[in-house]
């Protein structure tokens, strides 16, 4: 008993030490990155946090509930355009950030329900095709709603969007603290980090809640879940709404941070990238999803230096850097899916599904043999 108590105390201290080290690294990340690689990479860190929020939202739909959504980027677009329309000279409205963010999340959740309601009976490939079409419909609408009444400004997009500000404190302006001047991208980093941690906390609470277990039950066997008394219709609609609300928050942050949006920012490729983050990191596992988002945001940017490396090695660029970058990116995904089909950090359930097939088969055969005897 004493040994178990001491082991528990040791594990708890080790966990707290890891949390403290992680907190210090997250707080110092923009300074370390900016000093080593330049301010451009701090901007990449900002986008990494946005993609983490996006991936965690899609993880609710795909990872928890098992609903394959290829039009997820549409909710991101809804949040971004809502912020842009209500915080820019386009309509002459300049609503505050603290009001726009929850409104964007709520409107995106409504769009999630509108998508989920007609697809309740669809599964697998059929659901993927319908959600893909929904995402393209939203993008085409945004691209064409400039006539006869100019609502979205069409393919020209919306610019001069108000930067994120709270109570007169603008996150886009440099600020001085303790004798040090922080650029706007550094201040945005800490805002995005705080919101990403909040979404991670909500995701953890959902994962271990009654609703989270209902999502997992639907993912594993919808018929059995319904037979056990789970209201599959409401639970699936809730998954669509919750995932869409996270995307709406990310979209609003993206619009305020970027200052300009257009329909070109919300192509199908973005939905596929966010889905790859979940599959690569580990579907249904929050730590895996975060890892996948970090890798698929930073790795393609790091591959931009392929051209510089070729010039250093061969004295000229042998293969176009953009083509080679996408080739290496695709090859990395293929290799990971071959050797780590459950993802880099899979959940316990998926690890058992992918890694214990041989042992399960042997156990079943042994049970059959015992029964025949």
**What is the pLDDT confidence band of residue 137, given thresholds at 50, 70 and 90?**
very high
Strand partners, 87: 94
User: Residue 211: which residues within 8 A CB-CB, separation 6 or more?
Assistant: 235, 238
The residues near 48 (Cβ < 8 Å, ≥ 6 apart) are: 293, 294, 297, 298
Distance CA 197, CA 107 (A): 22
- What's phi and psi for 70, nearest 5 deg? -100, 0
- Has residue 364 got a pLDDT over 70? no
**Higher model confidence: residue 310 or residue 289?**
289
The CA distance from 92 to 86, in Å, is 8
Residues 204, 208, 211, 213, CA torsion sign: positive
Spatial separation of the C-alpha atoms in residues 260 and 267, rounded to whole Å: 16
18-22, 39-43, 230-234: least confidently modelled range: 18-22
Mean pLDDT of the chain: 85
pLDDT of 74 strictly over 90: yes
| Partners of 182 in beta bridges | 175
- CB neighbours of 50 closer than 8 A, spacing ≥ 6? 192, 250, 253, 254, 257
Q: How far apart are CA 6 and CA 19, in angstroms?
A: 20
User: Would you state the torsion angle of the CA atoms of residues 299, 302, 306, 307, taken in this order, to the nearest 10 degrees?
Assistant: 140
Residue 306 has a pLDDT of 80
Mean pLDDT is highest, among 270-274, 308-312, 367-371, for: 270-274
CA distance 309 to 169: 42
Alpha helix ranges (H) inside 221-285: 222-227, 232-258, 268-281
Domain coordinates of the chain in residue numbers?
Answer: 1-37, 40-281
Whole-number pLDDT of residue 368: 39
CA distance 287 to 44: 20
Question: 174 has which bridge partners?
Answer: none
Residue 130 burial class via C-beta count within 10 angstroms: exposed 0-12, middle 13-18, buried 19 and up: middle
Give percent of the chain with pLDDT exceeding 70: 90
310: confidence class by pLDDT, cuts 50, 70, 90: confident
Residues linked to residue 37 through DSSP beta bridges, in sequence order? none
pLDDT at 171 over 50: yes
How far the first Cα of the chain sits from its last, in Å, is: 43
Which among 277, 241, 272, 283 is positioned nearest to 136, based on CA atoms?
Answer: 272
144 versus 182: the higher-pLDDT residue is 144
Nearest to 225 by CA among 143, 235, 292: 235
Instruction: Say what the pLDDT of residue 250 is.
Output: 95
Does the pTM surpass 0.85? The reply is: yes
- Note whether 68 and 126 are within 8 A (CB): no
> Among 80-84, 93-97, 167-171, 279-283, which range has the highest average pLDDT?
80-84
């Amino acid at each position: 008993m004493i040994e178990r108590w001491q082991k528990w105390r040791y594990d708890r201290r080790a966990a707290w030490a890891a949390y403290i080290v992680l907190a210090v690294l997250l707080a110092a990340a923009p300074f370390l990155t900016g000093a080593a690689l330049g301010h451009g990479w701090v901007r990449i860190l900002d986008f990494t946090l946005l993609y983490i929020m996006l991936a965690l939202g899609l993880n609710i739909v795909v990872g928890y509930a098992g609903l394959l959504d290829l039009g997820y980027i549409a909710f991101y677009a809804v949040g971004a355009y809502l912020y842009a329309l209500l915080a820019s000279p386009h309509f002459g409205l300049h609503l505050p950030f603290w009001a726009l963010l929850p409104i964007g999340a709520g409107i995106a959740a409504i769009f999630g329900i509108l998508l989920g309601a007609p697809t309740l009976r669809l599964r697998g490939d059929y659901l993927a095709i319908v959600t893909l079409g929904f995402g393209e419909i939203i993008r085409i609408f945004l691209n064409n709603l400039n006539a006869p009444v100019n609502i979205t400004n069409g393919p020209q997009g919306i610019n001069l969007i108000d930067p994120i500000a709270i109570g007169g404190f603008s996150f886009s302006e440099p600020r001085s603290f303790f004798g040090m001047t922080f650029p706007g991208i550094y201040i945005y980093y800490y805002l995005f980090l705080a919101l990403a941690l909040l979404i991670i906390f909500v995701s953890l609470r959902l994962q271990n809640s009654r609703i989270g277990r209902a999502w997992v039950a639907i993912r594993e066997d919808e018929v059995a879940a319904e037979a056990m008394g789970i209201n599959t219709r409401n639970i699936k609609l809730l998954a669509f709404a919750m995932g869409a609300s996270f995307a709406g928050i990310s979209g609003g942050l993206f619009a305020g941070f970027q200052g300009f949006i257009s329909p070109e920012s919300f192509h199908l490729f973005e939905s596929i990238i966010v889905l790859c983050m979940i599959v690569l990191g580990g579907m249904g596992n929050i730590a895996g999803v975060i890892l996948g988002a970090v890798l698929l945001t930073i790795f393609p940017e790091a591959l931009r230096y392929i051209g510089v490396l070729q010039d250093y090695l061969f004295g000229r660029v042998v293969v176009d850097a953009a083509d080679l970058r996408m080739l290496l990116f695709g090859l990395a995904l293929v290799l990971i899916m071959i050797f780590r089909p459950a993802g880099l950090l899979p959940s316990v359930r998926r690890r058992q599904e992918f890694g214990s097939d041989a042992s399960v088969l042997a156990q079943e055969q042994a049970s059959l043999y015992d029964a025949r005897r």
